């Protein structure tokens, strides 16, 4: 079997005495667990080590596989220049992975930066492994901004490539958990931090890799984690494999979650096909969501899908309610995919003969004219979710004290510059945040005088 085992490990430089200078004693259980994991790696004596690191070269739409034959690195940036090592890359295996990814339609390979020092997310595990006296070639993998499923599928490609070339491999998923565990930590506290760490450690303990795919991105973003996508690639490398899971340690005294977990492969298990199950679950969720859409959202979907598929504008369908065919108003259409914004375009006041036409026009614009995103492609249509905000007329207000970011949207104006922010947006919890974002959208400085208006919306999902 190509994959012998996989291990999830953190990468705090402070673990090393030459960096921690005594502080490493506060996470001694992590260090002990790390030593145990690397002793296991050495006992397996793999032909190659897959190592995914959040701090390797990464791109929004591409998985970077480190190219070349050798690489070097040190912890000089952490004032430990003598903590250094060299690694050899398995070039043939990298090429096989790239070929398999291409065949699967996954953007992965060695394009991008050709040479660069090893990052600390790579160095820390390898320095611990070096203490055992064992070394082997490495395939170093960067993360991406692509979906959870794409990371899982990349892991499948890694395993398949190792199997094809007869490589016995161990996977190291380098990544910390939440960075928001303590108010006095370097990143502060968010309740999502401990919540995410509880969920991740439970997923590790039960080897529930489907749960790693399904973690809500709003939770992981608010918790400021860095390792989830490494763990998702690891899960893909273990696809259809029986594993013996073990959480060896978990600590977070500095406000960052450090977990060491082991997954020893014990055989094959076709029921652990989490990718297929994830696709089925997502399809069921989308179908249930679509069945619950009202006329406003169905209209936006019809307009967008017709245009993306055919390049033509859909006609206003018959049988719509008077509130769509007789009323006029501004409307915003927002698109999301995998929990992330995929496009949003709207009008503050009516520009069309009725609300139906307003929604249909703005749906197409959200798909193809939002400058922040590439145009929506046909293959994405099944993954999109929609919301339609119908705006009430805006009213001028005297100051920010008359705002409530959950109830009111805001319009800030200075001269001919105008910025709008809808109400009740994820992550916008205060008037200060609302104002700052609206000013930034309009290119209005924090100290510039502005006039303010507020508005309410009716949101359709």
Could you read off the pLDDT of 134-153 as tens digits, one per residue? 999 999 999 999 999 999 99
pLDDT confidence tier of residue 242, bands split at 50, 70 and 90: very high
| Ranges for all domains in the chain classified under CATH 3.30.1490.150 | 392-461
Cβ partners under 8 Å of residue 396, min gap 6 = 451, 452, 453
CATH superfamily of 293-380: Hypothetical protein ph0010; domain 1 (3.30.700.20)
Could you read off the pLDDT of 88-104 as tens digits, one per residue? 999 999 999 999 999 99
Does residue 225 surpass a pLDDT of 80?
yes
What's the CA gap between 316 and 325, in Å, rounded? Answer: 9
Mean pLDDT, range 365-385, rounded to an integer: 94
Query: For residue 226, what pLDDT is reported?
Result: 94
| Ranges for all domains in the chain classified under CATH 3.40.830.10 | 3-279
Does residue 425 surpass a pLDDT of 70?
yes
Residue 147's closest CA among 334, 357, 342, 291?
342
Residue 312: phi and psi, rounded to 5, are -115, 160
Does residue 317 surpass a pLDDT of 70?
yes
What's the CA gap between 396 and 317, in Å, rounded? Answer: 36
Could you read off the pLDDT of 323-333 as tens digits, one per residue? 999 999 999 99
Mean pLDDT, range 70-90, rounded to an integer: 94
Mean pLDDT, range 41-61, rounded to an integer: 96
Dihedral, CA atoms, 277, 283, 284, 289, nearest 10 degrees? 150
- Containing H/E element for 80? strand 80-88
Query: For residue 1, what pLDDT is reported?
Result: 63
Higher per-residue pLDDT: 390 or 116: 390
Mean pLDDT, range 216-234, rounded to an integer: 94
Does residue 58 surpass a pLDDT of 70?
yes
| Ranges for all domains in the chain classified under CATH 3.30.700.20 | 293-380
Does residue 292 surpass a pLDDT of 70?
yes
Higher per-residue pLDDT: 358 or 1: 358
Across the chain, what does the average pLDDT equal?
95
Options 3.30.300.30, 3.30.1340.10, 3.40.50.80, 3.40.830.10; which CATH number does 3-279 get?
A: 3.40.830.10
Mean pLDDT, range 415-439, rounded to an integer: 92
CATH 3.20.20.60 for the 392-461 domain, yes or no = no
Could you read off the pLDDT of 276-290 as tens digits, one per residue? 998 888 888 888 888
pLDDT confidence tier of residue 416, bands split at 50, 70 and 90: very high
Could you read off the pLDDT of 160-213 as tens digits, one per residue? 999 999 999 999 999 999 999 999 999 999 999 999 999 999 999 999 999 999
Residue 283 structure tokens: 């399809």
Residue 388: phi and psi, rounded to 5, are -125, 120
Does residue 115 surpass a pLDDT of 90?
no
Could you read off the pLDDT of 16-42 as tens digits, one per residue? 999 999 999 999 999 999 999 999 999
């Amino acid at each position: 079997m190509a994959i012998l085992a996989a291990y999830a490990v953190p990468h705090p430089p402070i673990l090393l005495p030459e960096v921690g200078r005594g502080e490493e004693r506060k996470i001694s259980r992590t260090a002990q667990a790390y030593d145990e994991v690397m002793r296991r790696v050495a006992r397996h004596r793999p032909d190659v080590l897959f190592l995914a690191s959040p701090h390797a070269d990464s791109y929004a739409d591409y998985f970077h596989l480190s190219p070349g034959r050798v690489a070097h690195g040190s912890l000089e940036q952490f004032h430990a220049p003598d903590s250094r090592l060299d690694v050899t890359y398995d070039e043939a295996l990298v090429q096989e992975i790239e070929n398999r990814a291409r065949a699967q339609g996954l953007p992965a390979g060695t394009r991008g930066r050709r040479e660069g020092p090893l990052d600390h997310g790579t160095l820390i595990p390898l320095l611990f492994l070096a203490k055992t006296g064992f070394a082997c070639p490495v395939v170093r993998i960067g993360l991406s901004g692509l979906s959870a499923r794409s990371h899982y599928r990349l892991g499948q490609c890694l395993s398949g490539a190792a199997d094809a070339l007869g490589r016995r491999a161990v996977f190291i998923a380098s990544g910390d958990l939440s960075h928001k565990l303590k108010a006095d930590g370097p990143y502060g506290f968010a309740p999502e931090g401990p919540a995410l760490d509880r969920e991740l450690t439970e997923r590790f303990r039960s080897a529930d890799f489907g749960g790693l795919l399904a973690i809500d991105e709003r939770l992981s973003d608010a918790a400021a984690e860095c390792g989830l996508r490494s763990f998702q690639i690891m899960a893909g490398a273990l696809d259809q494999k029986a594993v013996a899971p073990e959480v060896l340690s978990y600590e977070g005294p500095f406000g960052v979650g450090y977990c060491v977990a082991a997954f020893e492969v014990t055989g094959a298990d076709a029921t652990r096909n989490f990718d297929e199950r994830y696709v089925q679950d997502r399809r069921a969720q989308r179908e249930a969501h679509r069945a619950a859409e009202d006329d406003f959202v169905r209209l936006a979907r019809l307009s967008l899908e017709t245009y993306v598929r055919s390049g033509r504008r859909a006609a206003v369908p018959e049988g719509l309610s008077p509130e769509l065919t007789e009323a006029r108003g501004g409307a915003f259409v927002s698109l999301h995919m995998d929990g992330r914004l995929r496009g949003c375009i709207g009008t503050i006041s009516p520009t069309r003969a009725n609300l139906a036409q307003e929604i249909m026009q703005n749906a197409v614009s959200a798909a193809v004219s939002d400058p922040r995103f590439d145009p929506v492609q046909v293959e994405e249509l099944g993954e999109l979710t929609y919301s339609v905000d119908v705006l009430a007329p805006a009213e001028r207000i005297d100051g920010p004290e008359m705002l409530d970011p959950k109830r009111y949207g805001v319009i800030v104006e200075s001269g001919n510059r105008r910025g709008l922010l809808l109400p009740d947006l994820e992550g916008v919890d205060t008037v200060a945040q609302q104002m700052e974002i609206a000013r930034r959208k309009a290119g209005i400085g924090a100290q510039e005088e502005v006039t303010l208006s507020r508005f309410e919306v009716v949101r359709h999902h």
